[in-house]
Amino acid sequence: MTVTHDPIPRRPRWRNLALLALLLAPLLWPVQRLAERYYVNELTEQNRQTLDLYVANLLGTLRRYEVMPGILGELPVVRNALYQADDPDALDQANRRLNELRRETGADVIYLMDIEGNALASSNWAEHDSFVGRNFSFRPYFIEAMEGKLGRFFGLGNTSGKRGYYFGSAVRDGERNLGVLVVKVDLDHTERLWGNTPEQLLVTDNFGVVILTSQAEWRFRASRALDFDEREQIAFNRPYPTLEPRDLTLDINRWLIQSHELREIDWTVRILAPLAMVERPVRTAVAIGGATLLALLLWLGLLMQRRRHFIERLNLDAQARQQLEQRVQERTRDLESLNSRLKKEVLEREHTQQELVRAQDELLQTGKLSALGTMSASISHELNQPLAAIRSYADNAGVLLDHQRNDEARDNLQRISELTARMASIIAHLRAFARRDRYAPERVALQPALDDALALLAKRRQSMGVELIRDLPEATLWVQAGETRLRQILANLLANALDALGERPLPRRIWLSAERLENGVRLILRDNGPGFSAEALARAREPFFTTKTSAQGLGLGLAICDTLVRALDGELNIDNHAEGGALLTLFLRSAEPATAFPTEDYLQ
């Protein structure tokens, strides 16, 4: 048997997943945007704090020093130096005092100028780059201080080259300017405070020029274009090492910039954080998002695969069921055809059997006819015995009548009448034997039938001096037979025994015994004659087999007996006794009065 499977459509699952991944990939963009916004905010907030801290520090530094010139200008030693500018002692005292003050306040340089701008005393009087004797009248802080204002100025130290913030204040005597006291603050260190961080510092002054920065290459670059006036001022004040500051070029896209304006000094402080700082965590977030998406897809793929396997298994189960059903159907069809074939065969057998039975019947009929043909020749043989008895009774009757013994003569005549009736019955029986119809078996008592048969042969037996040994039960043994047929069978068997005993000297004996069996009755007839010869044992049932002279026997006795017995569903066994003599066993079916009579078994 071959079963064709529907091929399960193989969908390209991983292509579908890849397509899904492509569709879901744009989801990563908002993830990136969100992460960017988050980290930028974070960085902004962090830098805002750093910036505020730095600005506070810077302003703190500047404010601490901006009041100093005014206060220091009131010191007697300072004023003395101005009053007695020619007195080396007064100047020396001023120098020393200013140096002490510098040390105490942490200022870079403190120096004192006369109204011409000449430095009279200075904290660095003893050093090689001493300001003493130099003129700073061109410096803006000097000019502003002389105008009565607080002078402010950013610039490089003329000799030191260090960046500093200068506060200048006039020393006055009433309305009169005596001189100007200047405190210079070192700003280099505020730059160094910044340290080595990825975030960069950028402080621009009022010209937009970078004065403080954590990136050395940005220093003194112009963050915006300078106009003519501004260039003039720069040329005049020279706050930077160069008169033409180069442009600061910054890639705006690379930096996150926050600024704080210091309005009082017109400076701007900026903190620049490289956006690369944000890129890495954003990349990580996107990678995590991507990995999650991938895991989701894999999980989805796995689910799809499991679902697919499940469907495949269901299909396989369905196919197996279908195959099984098909096989069952095929087997059922096979069985049905086998069944019908068997039915046909049974019918044929029945038909054949009927044919056989008919053929057997016909054969039987033919056999009977031929047997009848041969038996007709021996009717005389069958009738000889009653005829001999009739003759004997008739002779006796004549003699008895002669002697006026009428009653006995009547009795003999009665016997003759009975014998003729029996002869008629024998003839009828022989005719029935040749015809198809059969007599239904009757219930016949065995002992009386045996007595009748013995009576038929009584005279002859007695004349031969044959001793009869009976071993029959008292109770009547009922057998299935026909009364005439049974008597005929028994008479035949007894006559044969007498024939055989005729060849023997005395003592001559006949044993008769019977017993009830489970389903029948067994009658045993034994004589002490010569017994059956070997040939007779084999052929005794054959019609016309005889060892006797033609006058004595026709060889039909046992043939008829056997046929009759078999017709009664009985059995006749022919054998010799171990002690010599014939042993005939007749088995007949029992017909007990109580048992129902199964007539249909015998009627056709």
Binding footprint of ligand ADP on the chain (CB under 6 A):
496-497, 499-500, 527, 529-532, 536, 540, 545-548, 553-559, 582
CB neighbour list of residue 214: distance below 8 Å, 6 or more residues apart:
191, 194, 197, 200, 201
> Which one, 386 or 557, has the nearer CB to ligand ADP?
557
* Contacts of 224-228 spanning 24+ positions with Cβ under 8 A: none
CB neighbour list of residue 363: distance below 8 Å, 6 or more residues apart:
none
CA distance 21 to 46: 37
- Residue 3: how many other CB atoms lie within 10 Å: 10
Looking at the DSSP assignment, which residues form a beta bridge with residue 109?
184
Cβ at position 597, least distance to ligand ADP in Å = 32
CA distances from residue 67 to 108, 117, 151 in whole angstroms, order as listed: 15, 21, 11
> Which one, 386 or 555, has the nearer CB to ligand ADP?
555
DSSP-based three-state secondary structure for 10: coil
45 class by beta-carbon count within 10 Å (0-12 exposed, 13-18 middle, 19+ buried): exposed
> Which one, 404 or 550, has the nearer CB to ligand ADP?
550
Strands 520-527 and 582-589: antiparallel
> Which one, 521 or 574, has the nearer CB to ligand ADP?
574
DSSP-based three-state secondary structure for 367: helix
C-alpha angle 70/74/76, rounded to 5°? 150
Backbone angles phi, psi at 257, to 5 degrees: -110, 130
Cβ at position 596, least distance to ligand ADP in Å = 36
Cβ at position 481, least distance to ligand ADP in Å = 19
Tokens, residue 336: 């049905």
Cβ at position 545, least distance to ligand ADP in Å = 6
Backbone angles phi, psi at 141, to 5 degrees: -60, -35
The residue behind tokens 């039915």 is 343
> Which one, 218 or 532, has the nearer CB to ligand ADP?
532
Backbone angles phi, psi at 4, to 5 degrees: -90, 130
Cβ at position 546, least distance to ligand ADP in Å = 3
> Which one, 119 or 426, has the nearer CB to ligand ADP?
426
CA distance 31 to 287: 10
Cβ at position 587, least distance to ligand ADP in Å = 18
* Contacts of 562-571 spanning 24+ positions with Cβ under 8 A: 563/371, 563/433, 564/433, 564/485, 564/488, 564/489, 565/489, 567/438, 567/485, 568/441, 568/480, 568/481, 568/482, 568/485, 569/441, 569/480, 569/601, 569/602, 570/481, 570/520
> Which one, 544 or 602, has the nearer CB to ligand ADP?
544
Cβ at position 602, least distance to ligand ADP in Å = 26
Region class of 148: left (phi > 0), else alpha (psi between -120 and 50), else beta? left
Which of 45, 106, 65 has its CA nearest to residue 265? 65
Q: Rg of the chain over CA atoms, in angstroms? A: 81
CA distance 238 to 232: 10
Alpha carbon of residue 149 to chain centroid: 98
> Which one, 120 or 560, has the nearer CB to ligand ADP?
560
Which of 12, 579, 38 has its CA nearest to residue 289? 38
Region class of 569: left (phi > 0), else alpha (psi between -120 and 50), else beta? left
Cβ at position 434, least distance to ligand ADP in Å = 19
> Which one, 81 or 375, has the nearer CB to ligand ADP?
375
Tokens, residue 493: 């068997």
Asked whether 419 and 390 are in contact (CB, 8 A), the reply is yes
Cβ at position 499, least distance to ligand ADP in Å = 6
Cβ at position 441, least distance to ligand ADP in Å = 24
> Which one, 511 or 532, has the nearer CB to ligand ADP?
532
Cβ at position 490, least distance to ligand ADP in Å = 13
> Which one, 258 or 378, has the nearer CB to ligand ADP?
378
Cβ at position 530, least distance to ligand ADP in Å = 6
Cβ at position 458, least distance to ligand ADP in Å = 18
> Which one, 66 or 562, has the nearer CB to ligand ADP?
562
Cβ at position 498, least distance to ligand ADP in Å = 8
* Exposure class string for 564-591: b at 16+ Cβ within 10 A, else e: bbebbebebebebeeeebbbbebbbbbb
Q: Nearest to ligand ADP by Cβ — which residue? A: 553
> Which one, 258 or 563, has the nearer CB to ligand ADP?
563
> Which one, 190 or 546, has the nearer CB to ligand ADP?
546
> Which one, 446 or 572, has the nearer CB to ligand ADP?
572
Cβ at position 574, least distance to ligand ADP in Å = 8
